[in-house]
Amino acid sequence: MRQRVLGRSGLNVSELALGTWGLSGDAYGPVTESDQDEVIERALDYGINLFETADVYGAGKMETKLGERLAGTEDTYVVTKIGTDLQTKPKRKRFDVEYLKTALERSRERLKRDKLDVVLLHNPSVAAIANGEAIEWLQSQVDDGHLRAWGISAGSKEVVGAALSKPFVPYVIELVLNVFSASDYDLMERDLTERNIAVLARSVLAHGLLAGMWPSDKTFPPEDHRSKRWTADQLRRRIHQLKALRVLNTGNSMPSMRAAAVAFVLQKERVASAVLGPRNALALDQLVRETPKEPPYLDERARQQLQVQLTRLAV
């Protein structure tokens, strides 16, 4: 598994990371514990050394699972996210230092790591970033040796912009980045490069859409978050737009559409790792086996062809 440097943190991380939202059962429906264990072990076998989670995934159970399964492994790193208070009804976002201190300590205990690797603020608002309190506290945790690096899991470019205006800038930004959602990254790439900020790309397959396996009348059960993400008309339109990606699949010797989707992300300059979310070992096998193993992931001609098709299909 090829590795890249995670920005200013200096950590060498695998360019494919294992995300655990899908494994937690919160996203797409229940996943057995044996499947969770098998996926994590298979990821380690492949040389994946970066694992992405959050303190709310499975109400903390995924942090506990990673703490157990990664115990004793060398050179493995965990990115976790904090900032959601599950004790309130309804749950709410909290980025005050008093709450973050408690959340960080709980994550430390579950992950069984005295020094945490990377901690991200979990989808904060622009106002929470502009306040500056959370950022200053996280930087103090790095300075005091309790944390290797910090960052933000951002829901918009405005949140990233607010963070870049602060005296302490993030080591890592996690954001949605895929064939259908690349404009925010493209607008920020220069600023991120100048500040040596690493990007963790999430939703690389757009929750399964970019694998190209769904019929036009695809539906989802109620417990699957995708049942609320798209209306039927929106989903049909998105499936139709997948034709744009086929230019990579067929014209550039990609073995599958999912491989083309991952390659699109890996060729982005600031991306340190593409966060994948397989729910079983077979899905992980397919992604690792089919994804190009080294640059160039997509050549210039392929990128130009893709942009033409995306424009033609109004993506």
**14 beta partners:** 3
How far, in Å, CA of 117 to CA of 132, rounded? 22
In this predicted structure, what is the pLDDT of residue 250? 58
CATH architecture of 3-209+256-297: Alpha-Beta Barrel (3.20)
How far, in Å, CA of 30 to CA of 52, rounded? 19
Structure tokens at 216: 């036009």
How far, in Å, CA of 123 to CA of 308, rounded? 32
**Pairing status of strand 16-19 against strand 3-5:** unpaired
3-state secondary structure of 54: coil
How far, in Å, CA of 147 to CA of 142, rounded? 5
How far, in Å, CA of 234 to CA of 60, rounded? 33
**Cβ atoms within 10 A of the Cβ of 174, count?**
26
Q: pTM (2 decimals)? A: 0.96
User: What does each of the 315 residues of the chain score in pLDDT, given as a tens digit?
Assistant: 999 999 999 999 999 999 999 999 999 999 999 999 999 999 999 999 999 999 999 999 999 999 999 998 989 999 999 999 998 888 899 999 999 999 999 999 999 999 999 999 999 999 999 999 999 999 999 999 999 999 999 999 999 999 999 999 999 999 999 999 999 999 999 999 999 999 999 999 999 999 999 999 999 999 999 999 999 999 999 999 998 888 776 555 688 899 999 999 999 999 999 999 999 999 999 999 999 999 989 888 888 888 898 888 888
How far, in Å, CA of 114 to CA of 120, rounded? 17
- Phi, psi dihedrals of residue 149, rounded to the nearest 5°: -160, 160
Structure tokens at 296: 């160039």
